[in-house]
Structure 1
């Protein structure tokens, strides 16, 4: 994945009371989710599973929905077939 200054991806394996995996994307500027890549693969995001917080100077996109997070790494698999 290309690194961009001011962008951080955080994986938290002990998030929440149930200890679910969570992923947050923080950016100090706007970014296009359609261009989001993990391990070189385009990542698809299902909006209902994700929370967007833009109330501060940074934008945070986060989810504790494990299937939605797994979908990020599998999003390109069906497109390549």
Structure 2
């Protein structure tokens, strides 16, 4: 699989599909919702931790070639991080 040839949308679709198939059955969205998941989209291997960097390190320990093919998300969300301002209006 040539990961570099994938569009951003296809990369995300594959990462989310692997999450649903490989990760969701082993986590509790309610109690683990804050945890990060790092998924190797080529192999389906994943690692979970409260810290994204530690989850990445765990995944790289298992799959040293995974570096450029990692999809991140939180257990309780389709995204790893939120972007944008969330303050009140002036």
TM-score (norm 1): 0.33
Q: Which has the larger radius of gyration?
A: 2
Q: More helix per residue: 1 or 2?
A: 2
